[in-house]
Amino acid sequence: MINYADGCLQVEGHLTMDTVPALYEQGLQHLKQNELILDFSKVETADSSAVSMLLGWTRAAKQNKCEVSVVNLPSSMLSLAGLYGVSDLLPVQVN
């Protein structure tokens, strides 16, 4: 599930191959703003498709000239990004 309020897109639940395609499409709708914060604090589980989703959102944001920041990225997503060598492609994580 995705909730949007005041420039923050909060991602919730299980980010798996089963849920990511729909979440990806929902998120794309919000990547047409100047700035957007992606909050992953309510993510329960995440697999490699979640990393792919975040990279896709990052690419779409650049195309739309939207600056994206990430908060509360799960350690599992950080580990997977490191394993695949794409950590440097992820948006800046703020505290």
Residue ranges of the domains in the chain? 2-93
Looking at residue 33, what is its pLDDT?
80
Cβ atoms within 10 Å of 18's Cβ, excluding its own: 10
Homologous superfamily assigned to 2-93: STAS domain (3.30.750.24)
Write down the pTM of the prediction. Answer: 0.90
Looking at residue 91, what is its pLDDT?
82
**What whole-number distance in Å separates Cα of residue 95 and Cα of residue 82?**
20
Going residue by residue through the chain, which has 95 residues, state the pLDDT in tens, using 9 for 90 and above: 999 998 899 999 999 999 999 999 999 999 888 889 999 999 999 999 999 999 999 999 999 999 999 999 999 999 999 999 998 888 867 66
**What whole-number distance in Å separates Cα of residue 76 and Cα of residue 65?**
28
**What whole-number distance in Å separates Cα of residue 38 and Cα of residue 83?**
22
